[in-house]
Chain A
Amino acid sequence: MNLPSDRKEITKLQELTYELRVEDAMTRTVFTVGPDASMADFREVLRANRISGTPVMENGAMIGIVTIENLIKSLAAGELQVTVRERMHPKPITLFADEPLVHAVARFSEHRYGRFPVINRQGQLVGIVTQGDIVRSMLKHLEVSYRAEEIHRYRASHIFEDIIADEMALVLGYRVRPRDFSRAGEASSGLKRTLSRLGIPPAIIRRVAVATYEAEINIVVYSTDGGEIVAEVRRDRIKIEAMDRGPGIPDIAQAMQPGWSTAPDWVREMGFGAGMGLPNIQTCADVMKLDSTVGVGTHLTIIINLSKEDRAQPSR
């Protein structure tokens, strides 16, 4: 269990417990008993349904939980005719259906109960969850997400092989909204993920990601109406174009100088606007071209070449 690949899976499992909700794991069909049933009746419910505990319901409300442990104690004492009401745990600990699954995991390690009733925010019983339910749902989702990413990767990395043409290019377009810093980076993040699925080597992806992110930040910060980022992926190179409509750069040579910036304070407070963006793009790029007309817009072209060894390797 010390292999790095195992560790990754463990982290993925932890992640899943945050992504999934209790309702994704719970059993929706809940067997219940009434408080006036005898423990002998309760034993029949357990036996017939192959379960180990049920909520106790009275007039549509859950008033307790009764489990196989209560039954064993009753059996040992020879008291099978006593009512469930006398043996149940009143006020059971419940989970909300919309809570993250990690809360259920925490409850199970905190109390050593075998199951928790699940209620909705109106307090109605909607399910029941055991540790077995959690494991099953996690395995199912893990398999689904693993297979989904594998399929994406497999399909995408074969695109260059499957298409028959002397020349081919994959064009990816992303829109960038102006002055919305909370979403700045989404375009670059999407491109980065796509290139990874295409089987582009990590070192190349990193250069593309950093250069594109710098360009994206520039559009967010400076453009009047936002802009777009278009990446063209070919076997031999990746070309990224970042285009916006205004206001344009009056002096390109000056803008290219490390440290030169016209960024307003709100941008500097975010940790950007140090005048390193364009020089950094140039360092990441094999070719960089910057065209700008004041009042019209800016068009930045970045080319990153893939050497023969770098070219997309199908994953299988």
Chain B
Amino acid sequence: MKLNEVLQIIEGKVISTVADLEAEVTSGGGADLMSDVLVFAQEGMLLMTGLTNPQVVRTAEMAGTAAIVFVRGKIPPPETIALATQKGIPLLASQFTMFETCGRLYQAGLPALDLFELTIQQWHDAFEGRG
């Protein structure tokens, strides 16, 4: 899905100074916990978050996130926008809640992330490993 389409679906705005709206995102995921993002992120994903500090951009850079959507109408501080510009990561804003932003995109066909090894392992240990 192109960022152009994402913008339409979430009725969003572009907030980074540089954004290539023709860029593709291959999957989507939402989290306010960057620790979790580092675990489940996939190359080329779209990250929905309510957190606006510059570490969101750092996390996205390390995890290979294609673009970030800030939910609930949150606008990140200038230092976050500056870092995103430097790293070439587009930033979008949605006025909707995390649930609705993700829901609209999922409904429009943006796939969820694959289950991560660590998640599968924990699930198995908690529910299926006890015989």
Contact = CB atoms under 8 A, between A and B. Distances in A.
Interface of A: 7-8, 10-11, 14-15, 18, 102, 181-182, 184-185, 188-189, 192, 202-203, 206, 209-210, 212-214, 258, 270-277, 279-280, 283
Given A182-B79, A272-B35, 7 more contacts: A7-B20, A11-B88, A14-B18, A15-B88, A189-B87, A271-B37, A276-B35
Nearest to B35: A274
Interface string B17-32: 1101011000000001
Interface residues of B, number: 35
B55 A181 contact: yes
A200 B29 CA distance: 27
A182 B22 contact: no
A206 B64 contact: yes
Contacts of B34: 270-272
A313 B105 CA distance: 38
Interface in B54-75: 54-56, 58-59, 61-64
B118 A271 contact: no
A272 B17 contact: no
Interface of B: 17-18, 20, 22-23, 32-39, 41, 43, 49, 51, 53-56, 58-59, 61-64, 79, 85, 87-88, 116-118, 122
B85 A18 contact: yes
B41 to A, nearest CB: 8
A202 B85 contact: no
Contacts of B53: 181, 270-271
Contacts of A184: 55, 58
